[in-house]
Structures are given as C-alpha cells and as structure tokens.
C-alpha cells in the first residue's frame, strides 16, 4: 500500500509502483500514463481535444459514438464494456456497468496485490434504460459523491416516473409539457419513458439518440404543435425561455429534472420562474452511496466531485 498514490490533477491519477493511469483527464496529460480511461461521455469527464495524442484510450463504444456525434471527434480507442477484462502492462483492467448514462463504465485496476476501483459517475438504482451499478470488490475505492450529503434522498424511480406521466397527461390537454435536463442522460431516459406520447426532442438530444439507436420522437427543429411533449436541455436563460413558451402556447407545464431538486430550497427558487422540478437523477442518492461503499469492502475510500452548487448537475 505504501507505493500507492491517488490524486486529482484535471483527472484522477492512480500510481502504484512504476505504473500510472489517469481517468477522465480534462487537460492534455503532461506526463506519460500506461493508459487513459474514460468513464462516460459527459463534458466534465471527457475533453476530446486533450486526448488526440493520448494512447491507449479505453472507453465503451457507446461513449466513443456519443463523442463522435456530439463533438465531431473520432478518438482511436480500445472498446470495452461491462464484463470486459483487459491487461495493460501487466495490470488487469476490469469494466463494470456504472448505471449513470448509456455507455458509462466503472473500472477496477487490479495490480496483483491491490485492487483499486474508480466508479466514475454512477447510479445504483436501475432506470428504464439502464441496470443499476453493483458494488465493486476492491481494496481502495475512488467514488464520485455528487450527492454526498444526507439531505439528498431521492424518491424511488417508479414514483418519479408516475409523477412525470401525470405532468404529461395534464400538460398535453390544451398546451405543452416541457422537460429540461441533461441531453446525455435525461434525454434518453425521457425519450424511452414517454415514447407513446407525441414527443419532440431538441436536435442535440436527437443526434445522441440516433447514434444510440433510440429512434422515438420527432426532432424539434421548430416549435412543436400544442398537445406535444418537448424534451430539451437546460436553457441558459430560463426566464426568457418560460416567457417565449407562455406567449406561444398559453398553457405550459415546464419541469426541470435533476437530483439537486431533492432539496426543497432549490425547488422553491425555480418555482419563482414558473418552473416545477422533479428529482430524477443519473447519480446515486446519499443512502445509495453509503450502501455502495459498504458492499465494496474497501479499506480506503476517496470521494471526488462535489455536490453541485449551480443549476447544471452532471
């Protein structure tokens, strides 16, 4: 254990003996690594411009496809998926479903006498499109803890799904129902959940959905007709967005989706703009994080990525 070191340097660096790996680097690495591992396609975990000369890059084929569709970057990579086992310089790299977004992976680096797990963003609760993440059997666990605060306890997903459907039923009667959330994550989950309704999907979500084979819904390249459901990202100016929708449709039900809305103070702030909120998240809630740690058997746990302070959770 004395030769082990883990730290954050625009990416999670893991060193053991003469081996060094980096996970989700956001800057061009200044030193050499045995491999670069990418957990998933969110922009705060992958920066294609930092990776053009990096080798080898390990990620899922879905993550590579998302980067290509969204950023126009093709990165040479070794494709792995849940259950993959791969040796890089005598280190066994195992990949596991992270349950966060399509293509998201957790990794275990097995150095022979030390197993180190890196969750990336993860969710222990299954959704309509993903299985939940299972505990990793490791000595050291490096775990994201976005909602690492006891205030964050999410209702069960099937309850949130029922709440969403009720909003849709009401919203489409004589107006429009609008859902705002992360294009990668909420975009696919809502598309599949609401596929039997007349859904329109904003172009950036549609591009990701198409590459992942989710062909439901029409592309919202112009304002959809009344009686539809619109699935969109989070607009920069919510006040303006609400005003435009109100003037066009009259009746609008706008709902923001993120785990941060498990905190009532954040919901209250949003209501001032005429926007409702449902705490549908791609991350584990606090009890989920605690259970995950306990089931890992880790002797040492690092947490990374803080509780979000702004309105753009990942």
Q: Are 300 and 293 in contact, with CB atoms under 8 Å apart?
A: no
Quick note: the x/- pattern for Zn ion over 78-117, rule CB under 5 A, is ----------------------------------------
What's the min distance (Å) between Cβ of 314 and Zn ion?
A: 4
Give 121 or 125: the residue with its C-beta nearer to Zn ion: 121
Q: Is the dihedral of CA 35, 41, 46, 50 positive or negative?
A: positive
What's the min distance (Å) between Cβ of 23 and Zn ion?
A: 13
Q: Are 81 and 95 in contact, with CB atoms under 8 Å apart?
A: yes
What residues have CB less than 8 Å from 127, skipping those under 6 apart? 99, 157, 189
What's the min distance (Å) between Cβ of 50 and Zn ion?
A: 17
Binding flag, residue 296, Zn ion (CB under 5 A): no
What residues have CB less than 8 Å from 95, skipping those under 6 apart? 60, 80, 81, 82, 83, 84, 85, 86, 105, 106, 107
Give 81 or 198: the residue with its C-beta nearer to Zn ion: 81
Binding flag, residue 121, Zn ion (CB under 5 A): yes
What's the min distance (Å) between Cβ of 163 and Zn ion?
A: 23
Nearest to 25 by CA among 7, 13, 14: 13
What's the min distance (Å) between Cβ of 297 and Zn ion?
A: 25
Give 42 or 157: the residue with its C-beta nearer to Zn ion: 42
Binding flag, residue 77, Zn ion (CB under 5 A): no
What's the min distance (Å) between Cβ of 49 and Zn ion?
A: 19
Binding flag, residue 314, Zn ion (CB under 5 A): yes
Give 130 or 254: the residue with its C-beta nearer to Zn ion: 130
Give 42 or 206: the residue with its C-beta nearer to Zn ion: 42
Q: Are 163 and 278 in contact, with CB atoms under 8 Å apart?
A: yes
Binding flag, residue 127, Zn ion (CB under 5 A): no
Neighbours of 260 (CB within 10 A): 24
Binding flag, residue 39, Zn ion (CB under 5 A): no
Q: Which stretch binds Zn ion (CB under 5 A): 79-87, 119-127, 173-181, 192-200?
A: 119-127
- d(Cα 221, Cα 218) in Å, to the nearest integer? 9
Binding flag, residue 42, Zn ion (CB under 5 A): yes
Give 42 or 115: the residue with its C-beta nearer to Zn ion: 42
Quick note: the x/- pattern for Zn ion over 231-270, rule CB under 5 A, is ----------------------------------------
What's the min distance (Å) between Cβ of 276 and Zn ion?
A: 23
The residue ranges that bind Zn ion (CB under 5 A) are 42, 121, 314
């Amino acid at each position: 254990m004395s030769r082990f070191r883990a730290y954050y340097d625009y990416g999670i660096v893991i060193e053991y003996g003469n081996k060094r790996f980096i996970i989700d680097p956001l800057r061009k690495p200044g030193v050499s690594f045995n491999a670069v591992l990418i957990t998933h396609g969110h922009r705060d975990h992958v920066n294609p411009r930092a990776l053009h000369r990096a080798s080898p890059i390990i990620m899922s084929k879905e993550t590579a496809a998302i980067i290509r569709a969204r950023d126009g970057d093709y990165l040479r990579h070794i494709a792995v998926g849940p259950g993959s086992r791969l040796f890089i310089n005598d280190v066994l790299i195992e990949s596991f479903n992270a349950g966060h977004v399509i293509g998201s992976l957790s990794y275990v680096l097995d150095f022979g006498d030390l197993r180190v797990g890196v969750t990336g963003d993860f969710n222990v609760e299954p959704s309509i499109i993903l299985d939940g993440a299972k505990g990793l059997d490791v000595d050291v666990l490096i775990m994201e803890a976005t909602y690492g605060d006891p205030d964050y306890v999410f209702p069960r997903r099937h309850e949130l799904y029922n709440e969403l459907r009720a909003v849709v039923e009401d919203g489409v009667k004589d107006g429009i129902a609008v859902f705002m959330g992360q294009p990668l994550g909420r975009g696919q989950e809502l598309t599949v959940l609401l596929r039997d309704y007349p859904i329109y999907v904003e172009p950036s979500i549609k591009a990701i959905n198409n590459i992942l084979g989710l062909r439901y819904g029409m592309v919202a390249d112009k304002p959809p007709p009344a009686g539809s459901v619109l699935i969109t990202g989070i607009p920069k100016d919510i006040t303006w967005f609400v005003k435009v929708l109100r003037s066009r449709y009259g009746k609008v039900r706008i709902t923001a989706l993120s785990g941060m809305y498990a905190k009532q103070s954040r919901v209250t702030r949003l209501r001032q703009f005429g926007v409702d909120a449902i705490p549908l998240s791609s991350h584990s809630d606090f009890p989920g994080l605690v259970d995950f740690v306990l089931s890992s058997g880790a002797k040492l746990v690092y947490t990374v990525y803080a509780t979000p302070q702004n309105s753009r959770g990942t």
